[in-house]
Structure 1
Amino acid sequence: MQAIVAEKALQAQALAAPFKHSKKGTHIEIAPCGMFPQGALMTWCSGHLFEIVEPHVMDASLKKWRLETLPMIPDSFKYKVIPSKASRFKAVKAVLTDPRVNEIIAAGDPAREGELIVRLVIRMSGVKKPMRRLWVNSLTPKAVEKAFQNLLRIESTQPLYFEAMARSYADWLIGMNASRVYTLLIQSKGVERSVYSVGRVQTPTLAMIVNREREIQEFVSKPFFEVVATFNMDGKIYEGKYTMENGTRFDKNEDAVAIQEATNGKEALIAEVKIERKHVQPPAFHSLSTLQALANKRFRFSPKKTLEVTQSLYEKSYVTYPRTDSNHVTKGEAEVFPEVLKKLGTLEPYRELAAKTSRSILSDKRYVNEKLVSDHYAIIPTEKIPPLNRLSNDEQKIYDIIARSLIAAHYGPAIFSHTSIQTNVSEHKFMTKGKQLLTPGWRTVIFDDQKEEDALLPDVKEKEQGVANPVKVTEGKTTPPKRFTEGELITAMKNVGQSVEDKEVGKVLKAVSGLGEESTRSNVIERLKQLDYIEIIQHRVAPCQKAFILIDAVKDTLLASPELTGRWEQRLKEIGQGEAPPKNFIDQSKKLAEKLVQDAIQQSASWDMTQYKAAVKADQQLGPCPICGAGVVDKGRIYGCSAYKTASCKFILTKKLIGKSLSETNVKKLLDKGKTNLIKGFKGKKTFDAYIVWQDKREGSIQFEFKRKRERVKK
C-alpha cells in the first residue's frame, strides 16, 4: 500500500478526487483500483510543520542577546514541530508508520518549498521507506491521473530539497546574527528600544522603499511654463504645443511669454502630417507577479490576498499552479486550449467572447515557448470550469482576469492610428499628437468595460495655412515621485536588476528574477508590515521611522543591496539544478555571517543617530506617564513610557485589547482625564461596549467601566 503526502488539505482532496475514496477522520482512504491495486492512504501537511529552533535551544548561553556571543554558528541545525501544527504532524506520522504502507509518494507543491515541507515531515517521522515524487501543475482529475501514471524517481527532485534546506540554513545564519548585532548596536545609540529584524530579501526591499521616500522628501518642486496655441485652418481647429529640442517646458515665464507674443495671431503653416498605424498584440499570460500587480491596481488586493485567492482556485482545480514566474506554456498545454475556450463559452460572461476567438496560438512563441518554461508554466484556466455563483466574490475577480487573458490571446491585435502634426509659426515649431482606435481586437475582451477617449484630430493636409489664435502660456509644477503601491513594489522587486548600476550584478538579478521568489515576495511585504517597518497609507507603501533607523545603519553594506540576494539565488539555483553541492553554500554563509557581524561592529562607531534619539524624546507625547510623569509615546505595537531606559519605567499599554484597537485619541483621554471615550465592540464571550479607566494609576493598571442604565436611556 502507498501513502501519499500532500501539502494542504484541499490539495489532498483534489489528488484523491479521480479515485473512489472515503474520508477517515484525519486522512483519506483510496479504495483499491487500477492505479492503486492495494489502495492508498492520503494524508496532508498544513504548510510547514517544522521550523529551525531558536539559538538558545541549541545553546542556553545564547538566550540573552550579547555582542560577545556573536556570530552564532551551530555545527548542525535542529528542528522542532510548530506548536500549533503538532496534531497535524501526529496524523501524518500515523499514516507514514502504518505497517501496511510500503511506499511513500511525496506530493507537495511542485516547487522547492513543497519539496522541503513534505520531505522534512517524512524525515522527522523517522520513516525510511521507498519514495517517489508526484509532480503536477494542475489539479484537474485528468492532470492528476496523468501525473500518478508518470511518478518521478525521488532522486530526480533531490536537488530541490537540498536547495530549500540550504536556503533555510543560510537565512537562519544571516537573519539571526544580523538581526541581533544591529538590534544591540542601534539600541546602544539610545534609539528606540525595538528589535531590528534583518533579512537578505526584506532589507534590500525596505531600502528601496526608504530610498523612494527620501527622494520624495528631498524633492523641490519647480514651476515650468508651456506655450499652447489654438490653430484655425479654414474652420478646422486643433491645439499644438510649442516644442524645442529638449522638450516643451520653459524654466522662466518670460521666455514662454516671448514665444507667445511672437506667435499670437500670426499666420501658421502645416509643415508635416504623419499618420502611422500601430498593431498592439494581446498581452502575455500571467505569472504570479503580473497577476498580483494587476489585481492590486484594479481591485486594491494586497499581493498576499491575490496569492491566497489564486491558490484557492488552484486547489479547487480551476486554474494551474500559481507560484510561477513564467508567462509561457508548453505545446502540450496549448493543445488543449480549444477545449478550454469551448468550455469557457458555456459561462455567461465569456459566451460571446469565446465564440469570436479568431486564431490559434499553438505556433505563437509569445505564448508557447518550451525554452521559457522551467518547472511551471503561466497561470491559465484548466478544463475544469467553475460554476461562477459558487465562487466567492474575490475568486470571481481573479478567475475573470485569468480567463480573459486566455481568451484575449486568441484574438487579433488592436490597431491604432497615430497622427502627429507639425505646425510652424514662422520659425517656431508646434507639435500636435492624437491617437484613434481603429480595430479593437483583443481589447474587446480585456477592456470591454473601459472607455478611453480618443484624441480626434481634424483632417488636415501639409502646406495648409491658417492662424494661431489664441496662444496661451500655461503654468505647471514638477511633482515628486510617488510612493509604491504594493503591486508596483512587487514589480520593482522583480525588475530590480534594471536599476542596478553594476551591469554584471544587473545580469545576475535578471537571471534570478530580481529580489525574492515569485512565491515569497508577498510574504516579504507582509513581514515588513508585521515588523512595523512599513504601513499602507491611501493604497501606497510608506516607511515608518523604524525603517529609516535600520536603513541608515545598513546603508553601506551588502544587506541593503540587492546584490547579496541576487548572488545567493544564483547559487541556490545551481544547487536546485544539481550543479553545485549545498555544503559549499552553507559554509560560505557561515563566513558571511561572521563578516557581517564584524563589519557592523566596526561601522557602528560612525553612525549618527542623533535625529532619531530626538524623535523619541520629542515624539508627539500622548500625555504624562502615570507612574513616573515622563511622556508616553507610540512605540509601534504598544504605547509606552519614553523613560523606559533613563528611569527604568515599565509602563506600557497594549494597542489591541480583546479584539479592539486602542486609538491615540483614547490613550490621550485616559492619560489626561483618567477615562477613555466609550469603545464599542470588545470581543469577550459576548461583544460588549465599555470605557477604559485606571484600576490603579500608581501602577498603570487599567480596567473596564460599563455604561450606566441612565446613559443608555439618555442615548
Structure 2
Amino acid sequence: MDAILAEKPDQARKLASPFAHKKEKTRITIAPCPEFPRGAIIVWAIGHLCELAEPEKYDPAWKKWRLETLPIIPDRFKHQVIKQKAGHFKLVKEVLNQADTIIIATDPAREGEYIARIIIQMAGASRKKIKRWWCSSLTEQAIKEAFGRLRSDRETKPYFEEALARSYSDWLVGINTSRVYTLLMQQKGIREVFSTGRVQTPLLCLIRRREEEIERFKQEPFWEIVAVFDADGEKYKGKLEERFFDKKQAERLLEQMRDKPGVVGKIETKLKKISPPLLHSLSTLQAKMNRMYKLAPSKVLQLVQSLYEKGYVSYPRTDSQHVTAAEAKAFPKILRLLTPHYNIADDLRDVSRNKRVVDPKKVSDHHAIIPTEQVPTLIKLTSDERKIYDELARSLIAVHYPDHEFLQTTVLTMIDKHAFKTVGNKVVKIGWKAVFQHEQEQGDEGNQPLPPLREGQVVKPEVALKEGMTQPPKPYTEGQLITLMKTAGKHIEDEELSSMKGLGLGTEATRSGIIQTLKDRKYIKVQKNVVSTTEKGKALVSAVADTILGKADLTAKWEQYLHAIGRGEKAAAPFIEKSKELAKHLVADAIKRADGWEVAAAIQEKTQTSGRKGSAQETVGSCPLCGQAVVDRKKFYGCQGYQTGCKFTLPKTLLGKKLSSAVVKKLLSGKESGLLKGFVSKKGKRFDARLRLENGSIAFTFPEGAAKREKA
C-alpha cells in the first residue's frame, strides 16, 4: 500500500480527484489503478504538525527570560509535535508506518518538503521507501501525469536540508536577539516584547530609512517658465527645461521674452515600441494588486493560493516570470478556453520561441503563475478572486499580442536663444495595451497631441511663470514593501553582494508574512495603504541600525549560502555552526550598545497607550518630580513616568480621609489645600489640617493653636 502525504485537506481532495476513491473523515482511500496497483491512502498535515522545541525542552533554566542565560545554543536541535495537533499527528503516523512506500505530495517547494519530511521523521518512518510528487498544477490531468513520473526522494532532499538549515538559523537568531533586546528595553522602562529576526528587522530598518529621508527633506519653492504657442490658430504647450530657485532671476528672463515671437526649431519623430509585460511571479502579482486595488500582499497570497487549490492557476509561490517549452505548448488550448470570457484577437503571436516568455534558464523551481486548462465560471469566484484571476488571464493573453507602438515627436520652440520643449505621442499600434484598456493609466501632462508644425514656422507665444515645490521621497505603500524586499540588494553595502542578482529579504512564500509580522508586532502601521513606523519600531531601529542584524547584508549572505544548500552545492552543518557564532555575537553586541539607544519617544507612546486602555485615565496635574502627567489610576494617583523610574504617587485616602481630585489638582498646581476635617492619627485621634507638597511628599499645616503634628 502507498501512503500519500498531502499538506492540507483541500489539496488531498484534489490529489484524489483523478482516481476512483472513497472519502473518510481523516483519510481518502484510492482504489487499485494503473498508478497505484495496490491502492493508496491519502493523509494530510494541517500546515505544520511539528515544530522546533521550545528552549525549556533543552534546559529548564532557559524558560525564564534572563540575560545571564543568553545566548541559548542547543547542542542538537529537537522537534516536537504541536500540542493542539497531536491527535491528528497520531492518525497520520499510523498510516505512514503501515505503508510500503510514502509519496510526499505536499506543496512542491522548500516549505512543503520541510513539513513532510519532519512529519515522516517524527513518525519514525524515515527508513521507508520515499518518492516525491512534484507538479505546478492541480488540474486532474496534471495530477495524474505527475503521479506517473514520481521523483526520487534524493532529488528533492537538498530542498529539505536548505529549509532545515534556514529554520535552525532563524531560531538561533530569533530566540537570542528577541530575548536580549526585550530584556535590555525593559531595563530602560519599555515593558514589551521586541521580536527580532534576520528578515523582519532589516526590512523595518529600510522602512525607517525612507522615513528619515522624508523627515530630513527640506521643501523649496522653484519656478518654471512655460508657454502656450499659437500656430495658425492651433495651440500647444512648451516648457523651458531649466528650473529656477531664484524667482527674480526667472522674472527677469520672462520679461526679456515678452512680446517676442517663437520659432519652431528642431522637430524629431521616433517610433517607440513597448513590449508586453512579463508573466507574473508572486511578488509582481502582489505589487500590482496592491497598487490597483490596495489588496494587502498577505491577502493576495491567500487568494491566489485558493485559486491554485481549486485547480484554476499554477503554483503561486514562484519567483519566476518565465515558462519552459512544455508549459508553452498548452498556451493555445488555454487561450481557446479563455475566449468566451475575454475579447481575444484572432491573429495572436506564437511565443514558443520568444525568450521574454519561454526561457528555461530563468525558471527556478516553478514557472510563472499562469491560468490552467481548468477555466472557472468567473461569476462563481468571489470578487477578489476574480480580480486575481483576471490579472493572470490578461497577463497570459497580453504576451501573445504585438508590441505597443507609438510615434514620439519632440519639438523645440525657440524664443530668442531659449528652447521650450514639447513632447507629443501618437499611437500607431495599440498592441498588448488593448488587453489592459480597463486600467486607467496616469497621464503625462508633458504628453499632448501636436498640431502640424514645420521647422522655421513662426508661432505666437504666451509666456508665464509656474510655481512648484520640490517633493520629498514618498513613503512606502504595502505593495512596494514586496518590491523593496525583492530588490534589497540595492541597499546592501557589501559591493560584491549588491551586484548579485536575486538577493533579497525573504522568499516569495514568506514576504507577505514578514510584513504581517511587523504589523502584528506593532512595529509598523498601514493607513490608507501607506506604511509608517511606530515609536516602538523606531526604538528598535535605534538599537539595531548600526549592527549586522539591521542590515540587508546578513540576509543576502545567508540567502546566497542557503540557495547553494538547496542546489546540493554546499553542506548545511557549517552554516548552522556559523549561525551559532552569529547568535553569540549579536547578544554580546546588543549588551555593549544598549546605553546609546534612543527610546524616550517609545516610552512616552507606551505610557500614553497604557493610559487609553480600559476606561479613560483622567490627568490631574504634572508630577512635581519629573514633570510628566499624573493620572487617576483608580486606586491611587500616579505619575506616567513610572516606567522610567519615577516613583511619585498620591493616595486616594489619607489617614482615613478621602482626597478628592479637586484637592489633588490643587496640590499638584503648587498650592495648599483648604482646611480638611476628619483625619485620624495612627493613635486613633481625629484632627483637621491643610495639605501641601514638599519635595514630592504630603505635608500638613495645622490650624493655629493646634498642638498635633502628623506626617503622611
1:506 alignment counterpart: 498
> 2:508 pairs with 498, 505, 518, which one?
518
2:332 alignment counterpart: 338
Counterparts of 2:155 and 2:439 in 1: how far apart (Å)?
Answer: 47
1:39 alignment counterpart: 39
Counterparts of 2:25 and 2:648 in 1: how far apart (Å)?
Answer: 53
Secondary structure of 1:511's partner?
A: coil
Q: Counterparts of 1:378-397 in structure 2 under 5 Å?
A: 378-397=368-387
1:301 alignment counterpart: 295
CA contact (8 A) 1:625 1:631 kept: no
Secondary structure of 2:225's partner?
A: strand
Q: Counterparts of 1:232-247 in structure 2 under 5 Å?
A: 232-243=230-241
> 2:585 pairs with 592, 595, 603, which one?
595
Q: Which runs of at least 4 in structure 1 moved beyond 4 Å after TM superposition?
A: 451-454, 610-622, 641-649
CA contact (8 A) 1:228 1:241 kept: yes
Secondary structure of 2:289's partner?
A: helix
What's the C-alpha RMSD, in Å, of the aligned pairs? 2.0
TM-score computed with the length of structure 1 as normaliser: 0.85
- Residues 175 and 357 (structure 1), Cα distance of their counterparts in 2 relative to 1, 3 Å cut: farther
The yes-or-no answer on 1:467 pairing with 2:492 is no
Letter matched to residue 79 of structure 1: H
Letter matched to residue 218 of structure 1: R
CA contact (8 A) 2:494 2:553 kept: no
The yes-or-no answer on 1:374 pairing with 2:364 is yes
Counterparts of 1:619 and 1:317 in 2: how far apart (Å)?
Answer: 47
1:682 alignment counterpart: none
Structure 2 unmatched ranges of 5 or more: 618-631, 650-664, 666-712
Counterparts of 1:614 and 1:379 in 2: how far apart (Å)?
Answer: 47
1:68 alignment counterpart: 68
Structure 1 unmatched ranges of 5 or more: 633-640, 650-671, 673-715
Letter matched to residue 502 of structure 2: A
The C-alpha deviation readout for 1:631-653, integer Å capped at 9, x for no partner, is 67xxxxxxxx955965599xxxx
Secondary structure of 1:548's partner?
A: helix
Counterparts of 2:527 and 2:534 in 1: how far apart (Å)?
Answer: 11
CA contact (8 A) 2:9 2:44 kept: yes
CA contact (8 A) 1:323 1:519 kept: yes
Q: Percent identity?
A: 45
- Residues 612 and 301 (structure 1), Cα distance of their counterparts in 2 relative to 1, 3 Å cut: closer
Deviation at 1:619, TM superposition (A): 7.2
2:159 alignment counterpart: 160
Counterparts of 1:553 and 1:360 in 2: how far apart (Å)?
Answer: 55
Secondary structure of 2:431's partner?
A: coil
Q: Counterparts of 1:391-406 in structure 2 under 5 Å?
A: 391-406=381-396
Secondary structure of 1:431's partner?
A: strand
The C-alpha deviation readout for 1:430-488, integer Å capped at 9, x for no partner, is 1111223232111111224537766211111111112222x111111122222111111
The C-alpha deviation readout for 1:32-90, integer Å capped at 9, x for no partner, is 11111111000111111111122122211112211111111001112222233233323
Counterparts of 1:438 and 1:205 in 2: how far apart (Å)?
Answer: 43
1:135 alignment counterpart: 134
Counterparts of 1:156 and 1:273 in 2: how far apart (Å)?
Answer: 61
Counterparts of 1:566 and 1:648 in 2: how far apart (Å)?
Answer: 49
Letter matched to residue 361 of structure 2: K
CA contact (8 A) 1:287 1:326 kept: yes
1:187 alignment counterpart: 186
Counterparts of 2:492 and 2:642 in 1: how far apart (Å)?
Answer: 40
CA contact (8 A) 1:236 1:460 kept: no
Counterparts of 1:489 and 1:177 in 2: how far apart (Å)?
Answer: 26
Deviation at 1:283, TM superposition (A): 0.5
Secondary structure of 1:442's partner?
A: helix
The C-alpha deviation readout for 1:603-628, integer Å capped at 9, x for no partner, is 22333444544555677954232133
Counterparts of 1:480 and 1:134 in 2: how far apart (Å)?
Answer: 51
Counterparts of 1:66 and 1:40 in 2: how far apart (Å)?
Answer: 51
Deviation at 1:503, TM superposition (A): 2.4
Letter matched to residue 133 of structure 1: R
Aligned residues: 628
The yes-or-no answer on 1:264 pairing with 2:272 is no
CA contact (8 A) 2:492 2:551 kept: no
1:288 alignment counterpart: 282
> 1:210 pairs with 208, 211, 216, which one?
208
1:322 alignment counterpart: 316
- Residues 112 and 463 (structure 1), Cα distance of their counterparts in 2 relative to 1, 3 Å cut: same
CA contact (8 A) 1:163 1:573 kept: yes
Deviation at 1:507, TM superposition (A): 2.4
CA contact (8 A) 2:639 2:647 kept: no
Letter matched to residue 319 of structure 1: V
Counterparts of 1:518 and 1:92 in 2: how far apart (Å)?
Answer: 29
Larger Rg over CA atoms: 2
Letter matched to residue 511 of structure 1: G
Secondary structure of 1:630's partner?
A: strand
Counterparts of 2:218 and 2:588 in 1: how far apart (Å)?
Answer: 39
The yes-or-no answer on 1:177 pairing with 2:185 is no
- Residues 294 and 357 (structure 1), Cα distance of their counterparts in 2 relative to 1, 3 Å cut: farther
Task: Return 24-33 or 446-455, whichever deviates more.
Answer: 446-455
CA contact (8 A) 1:263 1:468 kept: no
Q: Counterparts of 1:421-570 in structure 2 under 5 Å?
A: 421-448=411-438, 450=440, 455-469=448-462, 471-508=463-500, 510-512=501-503, 514-570=504-560
2:198 alignment counterpart: 200
The C-alpha deviation readout for 1:78-120, integer Å capped at 9, x for no partner, is 222223323332331232133xx21100111111110000111
Counterparts of 1:463 and 1:501 in 2: how far apart (Å)?
Answer: 53
Counterparts of 2:37 and 2:435 in 1: how far apart (Å)?
Answer: 47
Letter matched to residue 343 of structure 1: L
- Residues 37 and 619 (structure 1), Cα distance of their counterparts in 2 relative to 1, 3 Å cut: closer
2:563 alignment counterpart: 573
CA contact (8 A) 2:32 2:38 kept: yes
Deviation at 1:589, TM superposition (A): 0.3
Counterparts of 2:123 and 2:192 in 1: how far apart (Å)?
Answer: 38
Q: Counterparts of 1:247-258 in structure 2 under 5 Å?
A: 248-258=242-252
